[in-house]
Amino acid sequence: MSVEQEKELAGRAAAELVNDGDVVGLGTGSTAYFTVLALGERVKTGLKMVGIPTSNATADLARAVGIPLGTLDQHPAIDIDIDGADEIDPQLSLIKGGGGALLREKVIAAASKKLVVIADSAKMVPALGKFPLPIEIVAFARTVVEKKVAALGAMPKLRTRSDGGPYLTDNGNPILDCSFGKIDDPPALARILSDIPGIVEHGLFIGLASAVLVGRGASVEEIRR
C-alpha cells in the first residue's frame, strides 16, 4: 500500500465515526482531505452534520462537496474533531502545523469532546522532533523569537512561499519552522514556548488526542490514549 492509500484508509475510517447531528471539526492537510470527501459523500446520502473548518482551504473543499458549515461562535462545543498530524509519539503527543493551520487546529481541538487523529504509518515515531516544529509568530517579534528559540537548541527558519516570499497563515502571521532534533520532553517544551511573547501558537499538541487511526498497509489500526 502507498502512503496515499494509507491516508485514504485512515481518513475514510474516521468519517464513519461521525454521528447524525454532530458538530464536526474538519482538519487541514492531505489526510484530512479524504475525511472531508467521505463526509461529503455521507451528507449526500442523508447524514446531518455541521462542519467547523480549521482553514480556508478546508472550508472551500467542504463547500465543494456539500458539507454545511458553521462557526465557533455558533457552535462553541464540538462533538468530534478529525485532523491529521506531522508526527505522533507513543503518548499521542503531536507535531502539527505543516499545513500552516496550527492555531485554528488547536483552538478547534481544545473545543472538541474528542480529537481523532488520522495518519499514515510513517507519521508514528518513537520521539517527536525529526519534523521541524512550526511556530506561528507575530511578524513584529520575529528576531526576538528566533533568538529565544535558538537558545533552546533549535534552528529556526522562516517559512516561505514557492515564489520566495514569506508564507502567511490564514490569520496573517508568519511561521518559523524550528528544527529541534529529538524532543525529550514535549510537555515541558510546549510550556516554555507558550510563555515566549511574540509566539502566537506552536505546533506541539499535548494531551489533546483521544485516539489515532493509522493506515497500515490495507488495514486501519486504532490507538487510544
Reply yes or no on whether the pLDDT at 130 is more than 90: yes
pLDDT at res. 61: 98
pLDDT digits over 187-217, tens only? Answer: 999 999 999 999 999 999 999 999 999 999 9
**Catalytic entry in 6, 8, 105, 146:** 105
User: HSE on the CB side for 45, CA within 13 Å?
Assistant: 6
Round to the nearest angstrom and report the end-to-end CA distance of the chain. Answer: 26
Cβ atoms of 50 and 75 within 8 Å: the answer is yes
pLDDT at res. 182: 98
Reply yes or no on whether the pLDDT at 111 is more than 90: yes
Q: Find where cell 502512503 sits.
A: 3
- DSSP code of residue 157: E
pLDDT at res. 225: 82
Average pLDDT over residues 46-73: 98
Rounded distance between C-alpha atoms, residue 93 and residue 109, angstroms = 13
Instruction: Give the Cα-Cα-Cα angle 73, 49, 41 (nearest 5 degrees).
Output: 135
Rounded distance between C-alpha atoms, residue 78 and residue 114, angstroms = 8
Cβ atoms of 53 and 59 within 8 Å: the answer is yes
pLDDT digits over 147-180, tens only? Answer: 999 999 999 999 999 999 999 999 999 999 999 9
Query: Predicted confidence band at 90 (pLDDT cuts at 50, 70, 90)?
Result: very high
Reply yes or no on whether the pLDDT at 25 is more than 80: yes
Residue 6 annotated as catalytic: no
Average pLDDT over residues 144-149: 98
Instruction: Name the nearest CA neighbour of 189 among 141, 133, 139, 138.
Output: 133
Average pLDDT over residues 37-46: 98
Query: Predicted confidence band at 223 (pLDDT cuts at 50, 70, 90)?
Result: very high
What's the predicted TM-score (pTM) here? 0.96
